[in-house]
Amino acid sequence: MTDQQQPAYGGAPEPLSPASDVQLASFAHLGGILFFPPSLIIWLVFKDRGRFTAVEAKEALNFQITILIGAVALAIVTGILGAIFGAIPFIGWVFAMLFGLLNWAPWIISVVFSIIAFLQVKDGKHYRYPFAIRLIK
């Protein structure tokens, strides 16, 4: 093999096939079940190889970051309110149960919207989450 036939080291990555592009984009959304790491990995690794994957993985990542911010804020608020109301015997127990359920809400929301997005994107359609802070442009 001559030097002309060998790909340049560090050259442009090979573009994804249309089927792979759609598949990775849909997995970026489905990965939201595990919060943001799958979306982040897919976006970082494949954003330059497929346009559809780049757009959809970025959308999924922005949504997962929004959910993470909401989960942290909710944990702080429930922790503060739990400390305030925890000293009252019956009311403290009721609030502890309520706050325990509330802390599951971000994950449940993430799972529901991630599945909806996966089902839409696997058919090659773009999906935009109804609420997301779009930090990654």
- Using one digit for the tens of pLDDT, what is the confidence trace for 96-130? 777 778 889 999 999 999 999 999 999 999 999 99
What is the tens place of the pLDDT at every residue in 11-60? Answer: 677 888 889 889 999 999 998 888 888 899 999 999 889 899 999 999 99
Kind plus residue range of the DSSP H or E element containing 77: helix 51-85
Q: How far apart are CA 14 and CA 125, in angstroms?
A: 23
Q: How far apart are CA 122 and CA 80, in angstroms?
A: 42
**Which two structure tokens, joined as six digits, stand for 17?**
């096939």
pTM over cut 0.75: yes
Q: How far apart are CA 52 and CA 47, in angstroms?
A: 9
Cβ atoms within 10 Å, residue 96: 14
